[in-house]
């Protein structure tokens, strides 16, 4: 079956760095996405990885290792507004998007 | 770029009413549009995938006669919840992706549906 695993919840301190991991087992791979979803709102696109390595976008970076079926989202200089759920999603060989359950990130002052 | 507009944002109506939700891609052509439902504190659940000009593909357990999807153009898809009941109350979100490969899905703001 197809499966995406990410921690249910994480807590971090304002100004710190946090890494949210995602592991996947899918039938084929055509890319991995990270989305941010604030409570009561729709998801917003953060990043896309299709090749191994690190993609950096301001305070947010995303890493992919296809051989390990592993990705992480790194958030630096955390701000209170970063409190949200972070969703990992993988496109399989049929270009179907498989969603993880999301990681709820709680930022404390 | 990649703006998706969804409306209405909120709907409150009586049981038995049919409700139509619109999803528009404003600045790109959306080959594929997706409809999701999300209950409080739960994950996104894909309901159906629609391609312009063809019938939608529904996920297992989603009643196609209850959730009517029309994707008549490359910029518009509609979801009609027919004869809605309180258990249909949920947050409905559409997304759209463009024609090129490896395009992310861009989401509308969602529609909060409350059936009394």
Q: What is the pLDDT of residue B2?
A: 73
pLDDT one digit per residue (tens) for chain A, 109 residues: 789 999 999 999 999 999 999 999 999 999 999 999 999 899 999 999 999 999 999 999 999 999 999 999 999 999 999 999 999 999 988 878 899 999 999 999 9
- CA-nearest residue to A46 within chain B is B104
Residues of A in contact with B107 (CB under 8 A): 35, 42-45
Average pLDDT over residues B55-75: 92
- B101 pLDDT band (50/70/90 cuts)? low
What Å distances lie between residue A82 and A2, A55, A88, A103, B7, CA to CA?
Answer: 29, 19, 16, 12, 26
Q: What is the pLDDT of residue B72?
A: 82
Question: Which strands form A18-25's sheet, in the order they lie side by side?
Answer: A3-5, A18-25, A70-75, A60-65, A53-57
Closest CB to B110: pick one of A33, A35, A41.
Answer: A41
Q: What is the pLDDT of residue B62?
A: 95
B110 touches chain A (CB under 8 A): yes
């Amino acid at each position: 079956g197809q499966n995406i695993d990410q921690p249910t919840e994480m807590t971090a301190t304002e100004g710190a760095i946090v890494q949210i991991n995602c592991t996947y087992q899918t039938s084929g791979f055509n890319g991995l996405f990270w989305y941010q979803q604030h409570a009561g709102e729709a998801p917003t696109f953060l990043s896309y990885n299709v090749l191994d390595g690190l993609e950096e976008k301001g305070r947010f970076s995303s890493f992919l290792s296809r051989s390990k079926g592993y990705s992480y989202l790194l958030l630096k200089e955390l701000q209170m507004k970063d409190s949200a759920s972070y969703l990992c999603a993988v496109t399989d060989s049929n270009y179907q998007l498989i969603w993880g359950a999301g990681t709820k990130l709680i930022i404390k002052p | 770029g990649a703006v998706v507009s969804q409306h209405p944002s909120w709907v409150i109506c009586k049981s038995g009413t049919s409700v139509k939700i619109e999803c528009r891609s404003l600045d790109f052509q959306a080959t594929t549009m997706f409809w999701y439902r999300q209950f409080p504190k739960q994950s996104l659940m894909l309901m159906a995938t629609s391609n312009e000009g063809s019938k939608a593909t529904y996920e297992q357990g989603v009643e196609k006669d209850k959730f009517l999807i029309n994707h008549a153009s490359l910029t518009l898809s509609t979801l009609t919840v027919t004869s809605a009941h309180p258990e249909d109350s949920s947050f409905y979100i559409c997304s759209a992706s463009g024609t090129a490969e490896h395009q992310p899905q861009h989401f509308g703001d969602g529609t909060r549906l409350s059936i009394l």
